[in-house]
């Protein structure tokens, strides 16, 4: 079979996580691949046959996929149509945590109003803006006024983003300003406030789904709340606020019935990521690696394991993977020298 999906038995079940994002990405894969290769073929950098070596189109994938379960806090129209109205809700949290209280405030003096709100809060704050420039300017303004703030957007490398989120959770700074990155998968239980600037500017970044996802970043803290700065309540805002209120009411009823007191999620903060080999603990001889904190024995075992994976990758002609593993081994061997 030419694709992995053809190896699946017909009675398999496919789970699509964060389906409102994943499904459009499947459609974008073949279109993006084709657009890139057609340009290369047109100007003679590739043979025209390269276009045939491609991912499945969305229609082909849809025909191949087995029975499917789409998982999302904000399912899109396509998933709802495919489900034929059969939607199972998992709104109740065993921790008893409620969806955050939402408050709409006018945009006049929104920056100073937010600054006052930030200074009154003990926990962390996430702020979402519409542009990179706005994120950077807002961060600079906060810093000038004595607030420990940093910004997060697509120009920042992935590893640096992980470091930023780690430092935020550890309390090295209090406010993180972003654009479209403060959404799916951003898990900061210490976040007590989410602020959405210019929430009434209808568009991709302020659609119902985007607003619900952003509001959800405050749902992991018992004191979580959301401030939306807007002069008018758009249809997207109304839908997002109504849905949040509905889920909150459902959880409150469940908590009353079972005598549950909401408790903030407790989650460990991972060790530093990146090139921290020089940072050693002289007493216990630890080294900080991408996989966490390791001693010399653990490093030797990891190097041995990666060596085997590298050889297997080379035998399977996966040379890029083998090269990545080789580089990782060299890095670990350097770390090992620091410990010996």
Tens digit of each residue's pLDDT (9 = 90 or more) over 95-146? 899 999 999 999 999 999 999 999 998 889 999 999 889 999 999 999 999 9
- For residue 26, pLDDT over 50 is answered with yes
Q: What is the pLDDT of residue 294?
A: 60
Round to whole Å and give the CA distance between 247 and 96: 12
Contact predicate 178/213, CB 8 Å: no
Spatial distance between the Cα atoms of 282 and 204, rounded to a whole number of angstroms: 51
> Is the pLDDT assigned to residue 283 strictly greater than 70?
no
Residue with tokens 């990891």: 302
**Whole-number percent of the chain with pLDDT over 70:** 89
User: Residue 244's Cα: distance from chain center in Å?
Assistant: 20
User: Is the per-residue pLDDT at 324 higher than 50?
Assistant: yes
Hey, where are the domains in the chain?
Answer: 4-83, 101-258, 276-339
The residue to which tokens 């008018």 are assigned? 232
* Helix, strand or coil, per DSSP, at residue 293: strand
| Mean pLDDT on 74-94 | 87
Number of H helices, E strands in the chain: 10, 11
Q: What is the pTM of this model?
A: 0.69
Q: In the predicted model, is pLDDT for residue 240 greater than 90? A: yes
Interstrand relation of 101-105 and 292-294 (parallel, antiparallel or unpaired)? unpaired
Placement of tokens 């050693």 in the chain:
280
Q: Which of 95-99, 152-156, 320-324 has the lowest mean pLDDT?
A: 152-156
Task: With a cut of 90, say whether residue 242 has pLDDT above it.
Answer: yes
Confidence of residue 276 (pLDDT cuts 50, 70, 90): very low
Class at the top of the CATH hierarchy for domain 101-258: alpha beta
- For residues 14 and 62, the answer to whether their CB atoms sit within 8 Å is no
pLDDT at site 290: 47
207 vs 278: which has the higher pLDDT? 207
Q: Whole-number mean pLDDT of the chain? A: 85
Phi, psi at residue 304, to the nearest 5°? -60, -45
The answer for residues whose C-beta is within 8 angstroms of residue 247's C-beta and 6 or more apart is 91, 99
What is the pLDDT averaged over residues 278-304? 58
Give the pLDDT band (50/70/90) at residue 169: confident
Task: Return the pLDDT at 184.
Answer: 60
Does residue 328 register a pLDDT over 70?
yes
Q: Pick the closest to residue 64 from 16, 148, 6 (CA basis).
A: 6
Average pLDDT, integer, range 166-192: 82
Tokens 């900080």, residue located: 288
Does residue 159 contact residue 273 with C-beta atoms inside 8 Å?
A: yes
Beta strands across the sheet bearing 101-105: 101-105, 225-229, 191-196, 124-128, 175-178, 149-152
Q: Is the pLDDT of residue 279 over 50?
A: no
């Amino acid at each position: 079979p030419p694709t992995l999906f053809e190896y699946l038995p017909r009675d398999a079940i496919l789970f699509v996580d964060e389906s409102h994002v994943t499904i459009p990405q499947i459609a974008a894969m073949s279109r993006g691949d084709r657009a890139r290769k057609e340009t290369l073929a047109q100007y003679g950098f590739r043979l025209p046959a390269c276009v045939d070596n491609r991912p499945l189109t969305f229609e082909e994938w849809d025909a191949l996929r087995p029975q499917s379960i789409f998982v999302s806090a904000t399912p899109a129209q396509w998933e709802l149509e495919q489900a034929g109205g059969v939607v199972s809700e998992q709104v109740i949290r065993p921790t008893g945590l409620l969806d955050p209280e939402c408050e709409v405030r006018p945009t006049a003096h929104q920056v100073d109003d937010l600054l006052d709100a930030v200074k009154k809060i003990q926990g962390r704050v996430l702020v979402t803006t519409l542009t990179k420039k706005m994120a950077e300017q807002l961060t600079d303004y906060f810093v000038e006024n004595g607030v420990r703030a940093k910004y997060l957007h697509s120009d920042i490398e992935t590893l640096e983003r992980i470091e930023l989120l780690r430092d935020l959770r550890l309390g090295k700074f209090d406010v993180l300003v972003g654009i479209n990155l403060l959404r799916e998968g951003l898990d900061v239980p210490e976040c007590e406030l989410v602020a959405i600037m210019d929430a009434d500017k209808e568009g991709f970044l302020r659609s119902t789904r985007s607003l619900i996802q952003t509001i959800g970043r405050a749902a992991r803290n018992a004191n979580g709340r959301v401030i939306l700065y807007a002069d008018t309540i758009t249809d997207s805002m109304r839908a997002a606020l109504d849905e949040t209120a509905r889920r909150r009411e459902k959880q409150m009823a469940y908590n009353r019935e079972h005598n549950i007191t909401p408790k903030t999620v407790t989650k460990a903060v991972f060790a530093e990521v990146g090139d921290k080999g020089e940072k050693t603990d002289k007493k216990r001889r630890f080294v900080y690696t991408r996989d966490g904190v390791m001693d010399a024995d653990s490093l030797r075992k990891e190097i041995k394991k990666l060596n085997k994976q590298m050889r297997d990758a080379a035998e399977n002609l996966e040379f890029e993977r083998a090269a990545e593993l080789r580089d990782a081994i060299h890095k670990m061997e350097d770390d090992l020298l620091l410990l010996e």
